[in-house]
């Protein structure tokens, strides 16, 4: 019995254990040996997913900031144009459209 326990907690290959230990105990031994490796792989993959999500969130935040700046510029131009004659207002609005386009870098 003590040899069986010693073998169960040894570093013996699963093939060796199959002839001596019951199948469910061999499965437990294999599971216990693989668990740290699988957990490490899952942790690495999860960390990559988190980093990717953080990068995407940062990109979205920057895009939102660009649109907000554009919106504020257009808002100021519209308010200014409301108090100008039509020809001047048209020029102010066209200039704002050029300056405040969020799709241009």
Using one digit for the tens of pLDDT, what is the confidence trace for 36-68?
A: 999 999 999 999 999 999 999 999 998 898 888
Identify whether 59 is part of a domain: yes
Identify whether 42 is part of a domain: yes
Identify whether 104 is part of a domain: no
Per the structure, the count of domains in the chain is 1
φ/ψ of residue 78, rounded to 5: -65, -45
Identify whether 55 is part of a domain: yes
Alpha-helix runs per DSSP H in the chain: 2-8, 14-18, 23-81, 86-99
Identify whether 19 is part of a domain: yes
Buried-state track 5-31, b at ≥16 Cβ within 10 A, e below 16: eeeeeeeeeeeebeeebeeeebeebee
Q: Which residue has the tokens 């693989």?
A: 34
Q: Do residues 26 and 14 touch, judged by C-beta distance below 8 A? A: yes
Q: Which domain holds residue 90?
A: 2-99
Q: What is the mean pLDDT of residues 67-83?
A: 92
As a whole number, the mean pLDDT across the chain is 88
Identify whether 38 is part of a domain: yes
pLDDT value for 104: 67
Identify whether 7 is part of a domain: yes
Higher per-residue pLDDT: 79 or 14: 79
Distance CA 11, CA 33 (A): 9
Taking the complete model, does pTM exceed 0.85, yes or no?
no
Identify whether 105 is part of a domain: no
């Amino acid at each position: 019995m003590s040899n069986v326990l010693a073998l169960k907690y040894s570093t013996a290959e699963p093939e060796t254990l199959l002839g001596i230990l019951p199948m469910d105990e061999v499965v437990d031994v294999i599971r216990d040996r693989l668990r740290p490796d699988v957990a490490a792989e899952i942790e690495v993959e999860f960390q990559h997913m988190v980093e990717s999500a953080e990068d995407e969130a940062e990109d979205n935040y920057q895009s939102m900031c660009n649109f907000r700046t554009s919106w504020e510029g257009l808002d100021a131009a519209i308010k200014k144009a409301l108090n100008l004659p039509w020809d001047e207002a048209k020029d102010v609005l066209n200039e704002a459209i050029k300056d405040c386009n969020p799709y241009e870098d």
